[in-house]
Amino acid sequence: MKHKIVFLFFFILSHFSFLLAQNRTISGYIIDSRSSEPLISASVFDEQSVKGTVSNHAGYYSITLPQGKISLRCSYVGYVIAQAEFTLSQDTIVNISMQSATELHEVVVSASRREFGVQGSQMGAIDVPIEQIKNIPTLFGEADLIKALQLLPGVQSGTEGSAGMYVRGGGPDENLLLIDGVPVYNVNHMFGFFSVFNPDAVKNVTLYKGNFPARFGGRLSSVVDIRLNDGDMQEYHGNITVGLISAKFNVEGPIIKDKLSFNVSGRRTYADVLLKPAMWIISAVQTDSKIDAGYYFYDLNAKLTYKISDADRLILSHYMGDDAIYANMRYKETSSLMGTDSEKMKLKWKWGNIVTSLRWNRVVSPKLFMNASLNYTQYRYNLGLGNEIIYQDANNQQNNRFQEFQMSYKSGIRDGTAKVEFDYAPTPNHDIKFGGGYTFHEFRPDVQTMKLDATGNYVQKIDTTMGNPTVYANEMAVYIEDNMTLGSIFKMNVGLHYSTFAVQNEFYHSLQPRLSMRALITQNFSVKAGYAYMSQYIHMLSNSSVSLPTDLWVPVTARIKPMNSHQISTGLFYEFTNLLDLSVEGYYKTMNNLIEYKDGASFWGNSTGWEDKVNMGRGWAYGIECLAQRSYGKTTGWIGYTWSKSERLFDREGEMINNGVKFPAKYDRRHDVSITVNHKFSERIDVSVTWVYCTGNTGTLGLQQYTGLEEQQVEFEENSYLYAPELSYISSRNNYRYNPYHRLDLGVNFHKKYKKFGSRTWNIGVYNMYNQKNPFLIYTSYRDSYDGNGNYYSTKVLKQLSIFPIIPSVSYTFRF
Amino acid sequence: MKKIFVYILGILLLCTACETVIEFKGDFIAPMLVLNSTIQPNSNLKVKLTRSRFFLSQDDFTTPAGSKVELWVNGVYKELLTQVNDSFVSINYRVQIGDSIQVRASAPTFTNVISDIVVIKQPALVEMSEPKFVSVEEPFIYYSRYNEEEESWDPMIMKQNTKLVTYIDITDPELNKRNYFRLKVSGVEVVVEDNDTVRSPIYARIEYDDVVFGNSVSNDFEIIEQSRNSYGLFSDELFANKTYRIKVEIDNVSFYEIIPPSSYSDLYNEVTIILEHVDYPYYMYYKTLDVANSGGVIMTEPVQIYSNIQNGIGIICTSVPTAKTIKVSQQY
């Protein structure tokens, strides 16, 4: 049956050509007028034929229209509408140059979320303007892309302050985060409190949380498509920001005007640098010991765009980022009586990503656009620890001792991908995308080495390497999708994604149909529905709530099957022209072969026997998401509300969790509200406010205590007694709900434009303005009390740990 | 300067992030009856009955007043168990292999609880090989006392670590059925002096590194985590319907006082290896207890301890032990 569908699909496509006789194609790039930066998802619409399209990730568009009079209208959020009228008689290249509204000091900027809003067939997706992301007040004033996405309906954060994403009831490893089309495996800095994406380097962010177009695959729950700035082809400019915990810069400009541009962004925290004086003081005060320790993270984004010709472009983009903890300690004590005792310790702990992509964009014909790419991505984690002890006894050489110890731990994942994709617009009613790719995965699970060389009064030599062998896997995917217009009312995106995964003598494959449909009831109101089947071949072994560098990606095995999900969704979309976009979406998702840790199991970087620590089961997630978004005028932002439920069932023979009874997922939350408002009071001042409220997370508590079986115990020293342990009775997993989470953040920007050169912005922010003590962790403990009569007693209490109180922040940005 | 001030303020505020005592707002679960018993064949049934308590309470685990425990065997009522402190004992009936045992307990204001089990057979412990020492450390001074006359420290108690290996052969006790076992060890030091024998418990520990114990090797070089099987549990998954030879390594620690050798006539250790054929509830109870005990890491999923008491908590299970004792001469 599946083969018949594929055949029918290609049969229809092959017969388009005869329909094209009276049509001509308009194509070209849509660019920013000042920087020549391509604009992604800009809308091109012919008012005569009422047909439209949007630009792709390279800013390229192609629309095939009947010959005759054309009234072309191009719109993009934050830009002034560009319009052109002409008579179409032959294939025509129209490069559209759009002017930023800010540049013209215009207030009313028309835009359209055509593809994701009322007009488009796509649902469950949203573009978040990067300027809005930068303005959202955040922890320590660090603008954060993932934290901005967490404010959208259907997306939840993990614990307080974390950059983990849980989309429509899925887990954190079910999100595909792409930088210029290349996956990033570890998206967190500082144990998950910040994400690796530097907003200064980002041009466009699109989040898909359902109804995935066929070009995406490999994860169950979401796709975050992040596109980096290409670089200004006309002039040099940039910015420098100094914030509370980090400093960053962004520079871009032409290397060869209108031919070759660059864009470089960097960010680094400097807590370690600021702590250096403290280290020096400690070292100076304690003459016998020296210490140098610190933590930092950095990101570096670089991109070169070379315009070979009007038809060809080469783009080389690179990202690298690391977190690092280091410590060097020395201790030396010398006395004439005892001798010399010295010790050195060195710790180097580093983890991070490298993502590189070389793309070739070619306009093969006005109707056909090609994007070929070679991609490389890796996540690596290295821990090195060394220790040297020298003891020289002044009185007895037999007591002399020398010990040198070195230990290392390494793990990671590396992918190499070759991919080619095409955009083909044969008729006004069809926008076809097809392509395929091959990925070679190298999973490097944990490898530990240890070397010990001890001589003197204690002799021991160890030189050993342990760990798991590298696992190689081959993944292949092909897809085809057609975004087709069926009359003036219906539009649908229908596609197929086929993928294979070969690993260790196992071969898995999956044919995944995708469908999105729209019925345009009025020009401002549409109804949409869709279906997506997704498959995922890799898992992340993680210790739940906090992102740790030890999180390890592993492939499916003979026993652990690929995860898959079916998602159906439907929605209503309404647009108040130039005022507000409203949407209400409902979804129902089933997930299969999910993995969950067994009771008591944990993962701390050792993948040995990981299959024995997890069980496979099923999951359900369903909910309703409401979004009112305003992208125009002085006041922008959104109000989002989500009602959702996410459940798990692990009832397979030998794979039971919670006695085979359904239980709520870890981040199952019934209500989630977020309000984000940015108001521009003047050219000099704008204010952003964010308020979030959500139902508390679930956790597992033993609500009754009881005694277990008695057993004879023998202590180390000749004691034998009967002992019955005190145990906790846990009625079910995730049986307790934490207190609700809510928080208000505020950010104020003070801008000033210097007459001679550049401009500056002071940003003052307050995170958690009313100092709400939100739950990070709940546990039982004891509280000592005094009864006033000389008696102290201890009572057992429930305690909540909160980690982020009110936190002010300030940053300074200079733009030139 | 202003920036430094802001920095200090930020750090101070961060430090105020703290723990607070919160009110429990979840669903309350009423206290339940707790039944615990390890039944052994050819013996009287002894069941411990207590009550559970709210997790924030510090009440004692008492036996509810007016509690009753009934014994039913193979569907027939046998007797009302007699209360002895917090336990209830069958006076007349001795449990037999193959019995279907049902224990029913009730107490005023508590929901009645029931537990059903079948008493299992004894495993066939075919043979135990002669133990061999694989490592003997030199005794070292564990405790010494200052001798004022000699102005020196006199050793009083010595400690010696030894490791011995033995093999035991086990046959599958019940064919075509998954069987569960527990292997444990106990040790005593025996001092025979003037026709008087003194037996003191000593520390002995099995290293469960045979494959049947699963991934239980505590590798010294595992930097980040260690797995465990501290109760020595295993199943016949790997040797169903066959005879299997288990390698048993025993760490034996002896403490002995420095006394003149002539003052006693014999001194040796007795190491008893106990192989228990246990039922599924016993196996699951200790398996889950083992996992729960190995926790302590905040982010591990809490463990649901296995229970087979309907409407209540606890465990009623059977264990049929077979023991072999070996004499281990002290090596010093």
* Tens-place pLDDT, residues A327-348: 888 888 877 777 788 888 898 9
Chain B residues touching A274 at Cβ < 8 A: 7
Residue A249 has pLDDT above 50, yes or no: yes
Distance CA A703, CA A495 (A): 50
Distance CA A545, CA A189 (A): 15
CB A321 within 8 A of CB A351: no
| Residue closest to A201 by CA, chosen among A314, A321, A312 | A321
A727 touches chain B (CB under 8 A): yes
Residues in chain B closer than 8 A to A778 (CB atoms): 22
Instruction: Give this prediction's pTM.
Output: 0.81
For the residues A511-538, what does the mean pLDDT come to? 93
Question: CB–CB of B50 and A806 under 8 A?
Answer: no
pLDDT exceeds cutoff 90 at A775: no
Are the beta carbons of A154 and A167 closer than 8 angstroms?
Answer: yes
Chain B CB contacts of A665 below 8 Å: none
Higher pLDDT, A448 or A367: A367
pLDDT exceeds cutoff 70 at A16: no
Mean pLDDT of all residues belonging to chain B? 79
Q: Are B224 and A409 a contacting pair at CB < 8 A?
A: yes
Nearest neighbour of B20 by CB, restricted to A599, A724, A799: A799
CA-only gyration radius of chain A, Å: 29
Per-residue pLDDT at A13? 44
The arithmetic mean of pLDDT across residues A137-152, rounded, is 85
Read off the pLDDT band of A357 (50, 70, 90): very high
> How much is the average pLDDT of B237-264?
73
pLDDT at A396 over 80: no
pLDDT average, residue stretch B264-287: 85
For an interface test with B, which of A463, A653, A657, A729 has the most B Cβ atoms less than 10 Å from its Cβ? Answer: A729
- Per-residue pLDDT band for B125 (boundaries 50, 70, 90) equals low
Give the model's confidence band at A322: pLDDT under 50 very low, under 70 low, under 90 confident, else very high: very high
Candidates A409, A546, A736; nearest CB to B299:
A546
| pLDDT the model gives residue A55 | 87
Q: With an 8 Å Cβ cutoff, is A706 touching chain B?
A: yes
**How far is the C-alpha of A50 from the C-alpha of A73, rounded, in Å?**
11
| pLDDT (0 to 100) of residue A427 | 84
Closest CA to A479 of A434, A515, A437: A434
- Which of B14, B16, B58 is closest, CB to CB, to A796? B58
**Residue with more model confidence, B287 or A654:** B287
Span B208-218, average pLDDT: 65
- List CB contacts (< 8 A) between B32 and chain A: 704, 706, 729
pLDDT, one tens digit per residue, over B145-197 is: 788 887 777 777 777 777 888 888 887 767 777 888 898 888 888 878 777 88
ipTM of the assembly? Answer: 0.85
Cα separation of the two ends of chain B: 72
> Helix/strand/coil (H, E, C) string of A518-580?
EEEEECCEEEEEEEEEEEECEEEECCCCCCCCCCEEEECCCCCCCEEEEEEEEEEEEEECCCE
> What does the pLDDT average to over A73-86?
84
pLDDT for residue A685: 93
Q: A736: distance to nearest CA of chain B, Å?
A: 6
Query: Does A796 contact B at CB distance below 8 Å?
Result: yes
Length of chain B: 332
How far, in Å, CA of A186 to CA of A172, rounded? 11
Is there a contact between A74 and A53 (Cβ–Cβ < 8 Å)?
no
**B224 contact A CB<8A:** yes
Chain A contact present for B203, CB below 8 A? yes
Other C-beta atoms lying within 10 Å of the C-beta of residue B265: 13
Residue A222, beta-bridge partner list: A175
- Average pLDDT across chain A, whole number: 85
Interface of A with B in 153-172 (CB under 8 A): none
**Number of Cβ within a 10 Å radius of residue B238:** 12
A131 part of contact set with chain B, CB < 8 Å: no
Q: Which of A532, A430, A435 shows the shortest CA–CA distance to A479? A: A435
Q: Which chain B residues are within 8 Å of A192, Cβ to Cβ?
A: none
Mind spelling out the 3-state secondary structure of A294-352? EEEEEEEEEEEEEECCCCEEEEEEEEEEEEEEEEEEEEEEEECCCEEEEEEEEEEEEEE
Task: Mention every residue, 6+ apart, whose C-beta is less than 8 A from residue A204.
Answer: A40, A41, A57, A127, A130, A225, A226, A227
The structure tokens listed for B185 are 């060890």
Q: How many angstroms away from the CA of B262 is the closest CA of chain A?
A: 24
Residues A147-167 have pLDDT tens digits of 889 899 999 887 776 667 899
Q: Average pLDDT, stretch B81-96?
A: 90
CB contact under 8 A, A800 and B20: yes
Confidence of residue B31 (pLDDT cuts 50, 70, 90): very high
A77: DSSP letter: T
Residue A589 near residue A621 (C-beta atoms within 8 A)? yes
pLDDT at A79: 83
- Interface touch B302/A700, C-beta < 8 Å: yes
Closest Cα in chain B to A242: B3
Q: Identify all chain A residues contacting B36, using CB atoms and an 8 Å cutoff.
A: 707-710, 724
Q: Which residues of B touch A544 (CB under 8 A)?
A: 299, 301
Looking at residue A38, what DSSP letter applies? B
What share of chain A in percent tops pLDDT 70?
Answer: 91
Q: Is the pLDDT of residue A238 over 80?
A: yes
Asked if B95 and B43 touch (Cβ cutoff 8 Å), the reply is: yes
Q: What is the pLDDT of residues A790-809, one digit of tens each?
A: 788 888 888 888 888 888 88
Q: pLDDT at position A439, please?
A: 96
Whether residue A565 contacts residue A459, with contact meaning beta carbons closer than 8 Å, is answered with no
Smallest Cβ distance to A780: which of B55, B223, B305?
B55
Which chain B residue has its CA at the smallest distance from A730's CA?
B304
Yes or no, beta carbons of B24 and A798 under 8 Å apart: yes
Q: Is pLDDT of A425 > 80?
A: yes
* pLDDT above 60 for A10: no
**A700 in contact with chain B, both atoms CB, cutoff 8 A:** yes
Assess A739–B contact: CB distance below 8 Å, yes or no.
yes
Average pLDDT for A19-32: 77
Contacts across the A-B interface (CB distance below 8 Å):
229
Cβ-proximal residues to A101 (8 Å cutoff; 6+ apart), any chain: A78, A79, A80, A107, A109
Other CB atoms within 10 A of residue A567 CB: 27
Tokens of A340: 């010399």
Residue A255 confidence (pLDDT) above 60? yes
More confident residue, B123 or A184: A184
- On the question of pLDDT at B265 being above 80, the answer is no
| pLDDT surpassing 80 at residue A103 | no
Q: What is the pLDDT of residue A562?
A: 94
Of A467-476, A505-514, A703-712, B2-11, the range with the lowest mean pLDDT is B2-11
pLDDT grade, residue A785 (50/70/90)?
confident
Overall average pLDDT of the A380-404 stretch: 83
Tell me whether A783 touches chain B (CB under 8 Å).
yes
Nearest to A204 by CA among A56, A29, A345: A56
Neighbours of A37 (CB within 10 A): 21
**Residues of B numbered 32-51 whose beta carbons fall under 8 angstroms of chain A's beta carbons: which are they?**
32, 34, 36-38, 48, 50-51
Residue B222 predicted with pLDDT over 60:
no
pLDDT at B299: 57
pLDDT tens string A588-638: 999 999 988 777 666 655 666 677 778 899 999 999 999 998 877 888 899
Closest alpha carbon to B312 in B23, B91, B47, B30: B30
Task: Read off the pLDDT of each residue in B30-41 and give the average, rounded to a whole number.
Answer: 93
Using the Cβ of A809 and the Cβ atoms of chain B, whether some distance falls under 8 Å is answered with yes
pLDDT of residue B282: 94
Is the pLDDT reported for residue A108 higher than 70?
Answer: no
- pLDDT score recorded for residue A494: 94
Instruction: Please list every residue in chain A whose beta carbon sits closer than 8 Å to the beta carbon of residue B301.
Output: 544, 597-602, 700, 733
Per-residue pLDDT for A362 more than 50?
Answer: yes
- Tell me the three state secondary structure of residue A170: coil
Query: How many angstroms away from the CA of A529 is the closest CA of chain B?
Result: 38
Per-residue confidence (pLDDT) for residue A447, from 0 to 100: 79
**Contact by Cβ (8 Å): A723, A708:** no
Reported as a pLDDT band with limits 50, 70 and 90, residue A719 is low
pLDDT band at B330 (very low <50, low <70, confident <90, very high): low
> In the predicted model, what is the mean pLDDT of residues A639-668?
89
Chain B residues with CB inside 8 Å of A464's CB?
221
Q: What is the pLDDT of residue B101?
A: 93
